Structure 1
Amino acid sequence: MSLSRPLNQLARPGEVVRQFTPNWFTATMGTGILALALDMLPGHLPWLAALAEGLWWFNMGLFALCSILYGARWVLYFDQARRIFSHGTMCMFLGAIPMGLITIVNGFLAFGIAHWGGIAVRIAADLWWLDAAMALACAWFVPFLMFTRQDHALERMTGVWLLPIVAAEVTAGSAGLIIPHLGATAEARTMLFIGYGLWATSVLPAMGILVILFLRLVLHRLPGPDMAVTSWLALGPLGTGALGLLTLGAAAGHGLAGSAGAALAQVAHGAGVIGAAILWGYGLWWWVIAMLATIHHLRGGLPFNMGWWGFTFPLGVYAVATLDLGTETGLAMYTVLGVFFVGLLALFWLLVSARTLAGAYHGRLFQAPCLMPEAGGRESAPGSTLASPA
């Protein structure tokens, strides 16, 4: 990284706030899922556990910083900030906010209980309800804006359309982690069935989007280099969909009481494992397609932008679902593949983090596409004008 003056590519430092957009929350998504994935690796090595927890602490600070900057943009530049609702790409990244938060919520269970006991569980549960409300707002209102205010076309469609939808199923999967810590309470039962509702709110529309995405790729070929990484986003709804079925199915026995509840929980658990295995297989197809698409674009150069964080979270949730399938089924193939995916995730995270730090230091990455007059409601790459090999 050059030691020239920080933010030297911005007209003034205040542009960091004016140009701050929610795609920065994808960095919290990628960092958070890496922390959780490392914690799930077999062997439970002490140094790896310490690294995972350190990443979680770092991610909380990163999420707080992003929240302050984005909140300041709405306070100081309200008229410019609200233009996001008409922008066909940047508006999708509103879904990154609840998805980034849920990695912190899950971290309170993975790392916080050892420090604060039941208080960590209570914090996780309270934040979960907030996250569920945010995820539902994205799932309902962002598509409505697509229907009414934004300019979309099939040839410009990418996997970015999935972002506001997938947030709800990410929250659903987290419910399955919290419920066992709540016991057979009314809150646990309510969270269980809301979790299944959130899963359906997300997975079923996402399946429809994936069908349209396949059609778009057949008719109009791969998107341009600036949006090449969006091929990885298809892994998101399949990985989190599988994980949600696994965690909710496992949690059903904790949230349901009585003989009828026990029978229902047994069905939920078995259906969760089978359903997750099916979604996992579909996800493997998309993973191979994403790898091939990336290799195809690398031959002509793949310019860096914040969209590169798409390499991390979708792969991360797919890796976690793979490891969980290994635990549930006892099959070594899932565990071996899960470890491989986590290793690939770590490599992607290191690469994208280094490029992001360099771009942020110089200010290259602080430019909001929704403020560009020529963009209007049309879709453009997140930071595409700043794409750089640096």
Structure 2
Amino acid sequence: MLTTAPAPATTARRSPALAHLTPNWFAVVMGTGIIAVGAASLPVDLPGRDSIARAFWVLATAALLLLSVAFAAHWVRHREQALGYARNPAMAPFYGALPMAVLTVGAGTAAVGTEIFGPSAIVVGAVLWALGTVAGVAAAVIVPPRMLSGGTPGPVWLMPVVPPMVSATTGAALIPHLPEGQARLAMLIGCYALFAMALTAAIVTMAVVIRHLARTGLPAVQAIPTMWIPLGIIGQSIAAANLLGRVSDTTVSSGAAAGLRAFGVAYGTAMAGVGVLVLGYACLLTARAAGRGLRFSMSWWSFTFPLGACAVGAGALGIATDSVAVQWFSVALLASLLAIWAVVAANTARGVWTRALFVPVP
């Protein structure tokens, strides 16, 4: 529970939406931007793919700009509420959504923006990558102690430790644009370090979460969508391992590059098996929750980014193995994501219009 007092009535009337704007809103940017990234990196050249990528990149960019301004205003005009949410162990994990939103838009800018802005899009993408990476590493270091101070372990605890893995994945696309030699090597090593950091933190976090769930049982019905969050680290790690292996040809010796590509395929294949199991389990739990009265909430955005990460990961693995089946599996995942996004976005728009989503968070 929050310990801060509620806002005065005059403040609530002046800007009730901003008074209760929480960081989990940045999941809207994540879930929208990952469609742009997934469509741009799709290994199968389907009609309309580029148009979809551009459209969702524009939507994600607009959402990021709007939410960034609104969130800054939230901290300026409603500082007590903002501090209360920041100190709340249950809300703390969602601060990982901010850097991932920035990284996702940055990746889309580098992948799609060049068609509109030319080479300058790479520069903008690199700046967003740097900002998102610094913020993501900070979240991975600062937020977990806050969660441990009184939060209840759950899949949302992965949110602050996933950003470095997103940095590793999106950083791979920037390596070929760096000067040859030490600059590319430093970036490659840095991305693998981010990969190891996120994977280690995720394994430790999931061990804590699984132990808690084994003792207390599954989360409440309304929290079941968060069971999709582990798919995010699975998909992103598969993508990172294979994308970094692919670009290593321009950075390290041919022997070392071959070893990194082999690692990506081996890791990706093993983790894909885990991902299929987790995806099936998440679908089963969601179907059961729907039968038990699952209602729409912002947690439904948990369906989007993790599934998009798996689509990107499957695409990268499909290219690395030259597997047509895996490549088409990535298409199926992205198609499913588009349908899910439409449902979640429509409900979110309705909640914004009616202001039903702008309520105090317990």
**TM bucket by the smaller chain?**
over 0.9
Name 1:383's counterpart in structure 2.
Answer: none
Name 1:376's counterpart in structure 2.
Answer: none
After TM superposition, list the pairs within 5 Å mapping 1:128-277 onto structure 2. 128-147=129-148, 150-152=149-151, 156-256=152-252, 261-277=253-269
1:324 matched to 2:354? The reply is: no
| 8 Å Cα contact 2:93/2:147 also seen in 1 | no
Name 1:77's counterpart in structure 2.
Answer: 78
The structure, 1 or 2, with the larger RCO (C-alpha pairs under 8 Å, 6+ apart) is: 1
| 8 Å Cα contact 1:24/1:306 also seen in 2 | yes
For residues 117 and 195 of structure 1, the distance between their equivalents in structure 2, rounded to whole angstroms, comes to 25
For residues 246 and 99 of structure 2, the distance between their equivalents in structure 1, rounded to whole angstroms, comes to 23
CA deviations 1:260-307 (Å, max 9, x no partner) are x33222211211121122122111111111011101111111111101
Amino acid at match of 1:36: V
2:13 is paired with a residue of what secondary structure? coil
For residues 75 and 94 of structure 1, the distance between their equivalents in structure 2, rounded to whole angstroms, comes to 17
CA deviations 1:2-54 (Å, max 9, x no partner) are xxxxxxxx963501111111111000000001122223335434533112201
CA deviations 1:95-142 (Å, max 9, x no partner) are 111111111111122112223332222221222111110000100000
Name 2:343's counterpart in structure 1.
Answer: 351
For residues 13 and 285 of structure 1, the distance between their equivalents in structure 2, rounded to whole angstroms, comes to 48
CA deviations 1:178-223 (Å, max 9, x no partner) are 1022242433222211111111111111112223333333332221
Name 1:95's counterpart in structure 2.
Answer: 96
For residues 265 and 250 of structure 1, the distance between their equivalents in structure 2, rounded to whole angstroms, comes to 8
Name 2:118's counterpart in structure 1.
Answer: 117
Quote the offset at 1:344 in angstroms: 1.2
Instruction: Indicate the percent of aligned positions where both proteins have the same amino acid.
Output: 31
For residues 350 and 220 of structure 1, the distance between their equivalents in structure 2, rounded to whole angstroms, comes to 34
1:164 is paired with a residue of what secondary structure? coil
For residues 44 and 330 of structure 2, the distance between their equivalents in structure 1, rounded to whole angstroms, comes to 13
Stretch of structure 1 that moved more, 348-357 or 95-104: 95-104
| 8 Å Cα contact 2:44/2:327 also seen in 1 | no
For residues 62 and 358 of structure 2, the distance between their equivalents in structure 1, rounded to whole angstroms, comes to 19
For residues 269 and 217 of structure 2, the distance between their equivalents in structure 1, rounded to whole angstroms, comes to 29
Q: What are the ranges of 5 or more consecutive residues in structure 1 without an aligned counterpart?
A: 1-9, 373-390
Quote the offset at 1:89 in angstroms: 2.2
For residues 303 and 60 of structure 2, the distance between their equivalents in structure 1, rounded to whole angstroms, comes to 17
For residues 325 and 19 of structure 1, the distance between their equivalents in structure 2, rounded to whole angstroms, comes to 41
Aligned residues: 352
| 8 Å Cα contact 2:224/2:286 also seen in 1 | yes
Once superposed, what is the RMSD of the aligned Cα atoms?
A: 1.7
CA deviations 1:57-80 (Å, max 9, x no partner) are 111010000101111111112232
Amino acid at match of 1:216: H
| 8 Å Cα contact 2:103/2:133 also seen in 1 | no
Question: TM-score with structure 2 length normalisation?
Answer: 0.92
1:184 is paired with a residue of what secondary structure? coil
Q: What are the ranges of 5 or more consecutive residues in structure 2 without an aligned counterpart?
A: 1-10
Question: TM-score with structure 1 length normalisation?
Answer: 0.86
Quote the offset at 1:360 in angstroms: 0.7
For residues 282 and 81 of structure 1, the distance between their equivalents in structure 2, rounded to whole angstroms, comes to 38
For residues 189 and 269 of structure 2, the distance between their equivalents in structure 1, rounded to whole angstroms, comes to 22
For residues 355 and 255 of structure 1, the distance between their equivalents in structure 2, rounded to whole angstroms, comes to 46
| 8 Å Cα contact 1:85/1:145 also seen in 2 | no
| 8 Å Cα contact 2:102/2:131 also seen in 1 | no
**Structure 1 residues 146 and 213, CA, compared in 2 at 3 Å: closer, same or farther?**
closer
